Structure 1
């Protein structure tokens, strides 16, 4: 056994760059090729082209491979996995390559490309590496807006049309885990031509960036893990100024129960410790996008939340409900039934999403003032996110129960057990028992 531990210690020293015995290991052919791309003069353009080619190659595998878990040989058919691999190899490579990876990833994020926050395949948070990158945004104030909703409800599409982001869009499980994207705000007195990266014209005092957080689709058949879904929901509620709940059609009971439970968990974490977000509901892909025709259903959702006494945790009202038509329409080139089809974006959808974008930003501003310093800039936001993520890992009860009724039943059972123990073992008896046994050894007890 000693020889095994000695060998492990020797390997750890070889991999630790702070020791004299450190010898950089090779990250493999894929890592080396990726490093060469990062060295290129047009790095961002090369990565964008690579991402497009990888998506095309991935689509040829079929929707079942895209939605499910990819095999090892196909695992690198996405840019986010290549970045993930580079970040893993980062700790064990040369200083020159470390600097290159850091500099390239900063440029990648600053340009507005989506970056991975939580790895949905392994439920892992590369916060140490992200801390190095986001520390370069320390003086930048951010407004954090998250989106959650069922799989294939059009979350990524909605963010892309509202804020000009570049989140991946396709059928199936296209988003795995949680991703972020920084959109730089252009003030009225600024020239957007001199600004790099994704930009949005919005004159918001004291805000430099909007951080958009896109999440993996909830209630997916492939993942089929409601507890994982609840973790995603609670995480977004805890680290955002505003959360968009995007639904294809109406808000179903499963998602309503999930939101109610997670809002109650937010109370247990403590709204004085985390942000109190505003929640907006978007009823997407509605045949009738007239909001007035959905008043009855909206009022019922609001009543359900108020009955569960969660209004003080989730800021919800009729003003936070919106409807949108379908984004795309399939048409044929000609009247011939055999002619090919093309998909065009509906002008009404574009107009409504831009109007919704203004409402969302205006609403998020009111939450920004309440958040204090918990999510004021990217480094501080990351520290808060790490705390929330660790809390979810350490206290699974926060997301374990199916709905709030199960949790309250569990609370009543625990309370009843506590009362029985107090009656059976009074305080005087417990003190006497402790006094009698404190000087005894384990064997004597």
Structure 2
């Protein structure tokens, strides 16, 4: 194709001529010019002389309008040609379809915006062809179009401020007497106004118009009236597109090489064609949008500022307004009717859409007051529900669940009736959306009341446990009887059974699910176990002291719970072993929590007893084994048991036992010393002063007895009888109990002791009178073996238990 023949780059339907552009680039040598090219485009109203301007300035051959045939559209789509009159720089010239043409009509302005944005995106210099008398006008000067393409250019292509700047050359056609400075000032103001008022992406908020564009102005005379002047001035304008001029418009900086122009222009056009922001509505649609939006705002503001509306909102904030829906609907209907009347003659679709928008805004305006009404109504209905439920269950005696069901139905019905008075059909507002929330609130209140009742009953049960479980369990843990945990489990079972019965009776009429009842039973069980475990845990902290007390009770008290005097015949070794094993039983029962019967726990308890028994046997035999030989040694936890069940660990159990044994040795030693002292006291002769007093005061009686054999014999037998009776009654031991208890005990033993001693004395006398009966037991003339006091057998002393205890202590040391 010829170099200067224009190419229809984009047809009227928006199709890009890719193949033609490739041929054009090859024919014009564009692909070999590198950066030595420039693109000039023109935009402006239809039939404003754009093609004529380009032809005269650049020597192109774009089709021009034939004035004799009438005014109409000449250029359709986008055309491009190479300027033959500029030789030093390859210059591509684009002629765009004019804007505001009657052929496309007001309903199809999208292509105008697309082609203008395309020119702005690819051109180095954009000629804006504008008639002089249109300067200062809105539509005639193309201000809406410029605002749109500037805004979309920033959003779509995100140019960098200060880098490549497009030259915007305003060509004012058919200049008049108005000074050029005045015209350019108006255009400058228009550009600044467009830039400052249009929405911009956040990164461009602080930028100015001149960060992206260079603005230049020129003017031309009327082509028809002053053709020669027009030709001369276009020649001067052409020279500014040559790189040789100092004030040239040529910019060869940041751009793509010539061989990439074909692909670049195609991609730019595809991007612009698919961008929806340029699918702008027709003029009447735009007017309808603008005016309906204004009417919407006016009506909405009128409703907001209406004194009746403000009064209604204030009343709704305080309490339930029973005619709220009626009053609000009247005001809202007036607002919507006003909109319908004023927007009647605008586009129907736009009017309908804006009315829906007005309804949504009115809904948003009325929603807080409506929601407040529903909150007041819900509070009122819940309060009535609570009162009716209380009256029904307390005064009328209706079971709780039955009464709650009936009151719930009444409350929901009352809420629906009262809520319907707040409905506003004109904006689609209904109370029904709050009914589920009301039902949930009623169910929540019923659930809370049931929970409160359950908690109150459980508090009563826990208070009852203080009587039925806390005290008795503490008493058992103080006395530490045999089968302690079995008795605690029995005590706990009785308390749980009693509490379960009380719970069932207290919650009669409350319909609980089986799972809820099982949960309550579990809570009772857990509460009882917690009390027992807490008491046992507290007892385990003082287990050593409890072992001392048990040992003291068993060692220092006899079978009648009277203090021991440790007379010669008492076996201290045996008594200490029994007392220590009793203390070991206390330790064994406090090592493991046994709220449930557990074989492993019983094994641990037996292990502690075996450890104590083995330790005592080893101690008495004098062959103490190493500590590692005991069953509990070497264990950190009890086998087969949950560590949480342990009160005393195996190591702690053995340590406490050894500490207890050491601490009780002193008591055993003191008992042995007491026994030895009592033994020596029973053989001690009267003091010397007593003997002297007896001789002095009883000398006369002594002489009488010496001279009277019968009295002498009687005196001897009487003394022997009294001594034997004294020993038989164990007077010393009995008097250790105290004066009054000792005398009472001696009084009870006196008659049996007299009989026993008399019988022994009689037998001794018979042996003296009838020596032949005992000749085999004595030598002739020698004294009888039975002449010793009757109680002489008890006076034989062998190794005492106190000696054994002292021997044991020496071996331990």
CA apart distance, 1:117? 0.4
Instruction: Write the distance in 1 (CA, Å) between the matches of 2:78 and 2:220.
Output: 24
Is 1:139 matched with 2:39? Answer: no
Residue in 2 aligned with 1:239?
122
CA separation of 1:328 and 1:240: change in aligned 2, threshold 3 A: same
Find the aligned partners of 1:223 and 1:402 in 2 and give their Cα distance.
Answer: 10
Q: Does 1:326 align with 2:215?
A: no
Report the count of equivalent residues: 262
Sort the Cα spacing of 1:380 and 1:220 in 2 relative to 1 into closer, same or farther, 3 A: same
Q: How far off its partner does 1:280 sit?
A: 1.1
Q: Please state whether the residue corresponding to 1:213 is helix, strand or coil.
A: strand
Residue 299 of structure 1, CA deviation: 3.3
Separation of aligned partners in 2, 1:268 and 1:402: 22
Structure-1 residue corresponding to 2:229: 348
- The answer for the alignment partner of 1:302 in structure 2 is 191
Distance 1:292 1:276, change over 3 A: closer
Per-residue CA shift, 1:168-222, capped at 9, x if unaligned?
Answer: 1114211111111112xxxxxxxxxxxxxx2335x4xxx3x10000011111011
Matches within 5 A, 1:146-295: 146-170=41-65, 171-183=71-83, 198-200=84-86, 203=88, 207=89, 209-224=90-105, 225-249=108-132, 250-251=134-135, 252-254=137-139, 255-272=142-159, 276-288=165-177, 290-295=179-184
Residues of 2 paired with 1:143 and 1:295: CA distance? 25
Q: CA deviation at 1:128?
A: 3.0
Task: Please list, as runs of the form range in 1=range in 2, the aligned pairs for 1:349-368 lying within 5 A after superposition.
Answer: 349-360=230-241, 362-366=247-251, 368=252
SS in 2 for 1:364: coil
C-alpha contact (below 8 Å) 1:258/1:402 kept by paired residues: no
Shift of 1:395: 1.8
Q: Do 2:6 and 2:61's aligned partners in 1 also have CA atoms closer than 8 Å? A: yes
* Cα shift readout 1:364-400 (whole Å, capped 9, x = no counterpart): 323x313x21xx31x4222111111111222222453
- Give deviations 1:149-174, integer Å, cap 9, x for gaps: 00111101111111111111114211
CA distance in 1, matches of 2:113, 2:39: 19
SS at match of 2:32: coil
CA contact (8 A) 1:245 1:281 kept: yes
Once residues 288 and 115 of structure 1 are traced to their aligned partners in structure 2, the CA distance between those partners, rounded to angstroms, is 39
Q: Distance in 2 between matches of 1:360 and 1:302?
A: 24
Deviation at residue 312 of structure 1 after TM alignment? 5.1
Residues 302 and 393 (structure 1 numbering): CA distance in 2 closer, same or farther, change over 3 Å? closer
Q: Contact conserved, 2:114 with 2:273, CA < 8 A, in 1?
A: no
CA distance in 1, matches of 2:23, 2:60: 23
Q: 1:397 aligns with which of 277, 282, 290?
A: 277
Is the alpha carbon distance of 1:290 and 1:159 closer, same or farther for their aligned partners in structure 2, counting shifts above 3 Å? farther
* SS in structure 2 at match of 1:158: helix
Residues 328 and 212 of structure 1, relative CA distance in 2, 3 Å threshold: same
Structure with max Cα Rg: 2
Question: In structure 1, the residue corresponding to 2:78 is in which secondary structure?
Answer: strand
In 2, are the aligned partners of 1:298 and 1:321 still within 8 Å (CA)? Answer: no
Q: Larger % of strand: which?
A: 1
CA distance in 1, matches of 2:147, 2:77: 21
* Partner residue in 2 for 1:94: none
**CA shift at 1:131, angstroms?**
2.1
Shift of 1:290: 4.5
Q: 1:113 to 1:219 in 2, by over 3 A?
A: same
**8 Å contact 1:218–1:229 — kept in the other structure?**
yes
Residue 115 (structure 1) aligned with residue 7 (structure 2): yes
SS in 1 for 2:192: helix
Q: Residues 123 and 221 from structure 1, CA distance in 2 versus in 1: closer, same or farther, beyond 3 angstroms?
A: same
Distance apart, 1:316 and its partner CA? 4.3
1:329-353 Cα shifts (integer Å, max 9, x gaps): 2xxxxxxxxxxxxxxx522212222
Hey, what's the Cα distance between the residues in 2 that align with 1:313 and 1:220? 32
Change (3 A) 1:167 1:124: same
Please state if 1:130 is matched with 2:21: yes
Q: Which runs of 5+ in 2 are unaligned?
A: 66-70, 199-207, 294-356, 358-813
- 2: CA distance, partners of 1:360 / 1:304: 29
- Is 1:114–1:179's contact at 8 Å kept on the other side of the alignment? yes
CA distance in 1, matches of 2:80, 2:222: 25
Of residues 366, 380, 388 in structure 1, which corresponds to 2:260?
380
Aligned residue number for residue 209 of structure 2:
311
Q: Do the aligned residues in 2 keep the contact of 1:288 with 1:325 (CA within 8 Å)?
A: no
Q: Distance in 2 between matches of 1:230 and 1:358?
A: 30
Structure 1 residue 293 displacement after superposition:
4.3
Q: Deviation of residue 357 (structure 1)?
A: 2.5
CA contact (8 A) 1:243 1:277 kept: yes
C-alpha distance in structure 2 between counterparts of 1:239 and 1:296, whole Å: 27
**CA distance, structure 1, for counterparts of residue 49 and residue 253 of structure 2:** 30
Q: Give the conservation status (yes or no) of the 8 Å contact 1:240–1:275.
A: no
Cα distance in 2, alignment partners of residues 357 and 288 from structure 1: 24
Higher RCO structure (Cα 8 Å, ≥6 apart): 1
Q: CA deviation at 1:233?
A: 0.4
Gaps of 5+ in 1: 1-104, 184-197, 330-344, 414-445
Q: 1:166 to 1:349 in 2, by over 3 A?
A: same
CA distance in 2 between partners of 1:297 and 1:133 (Å): 40
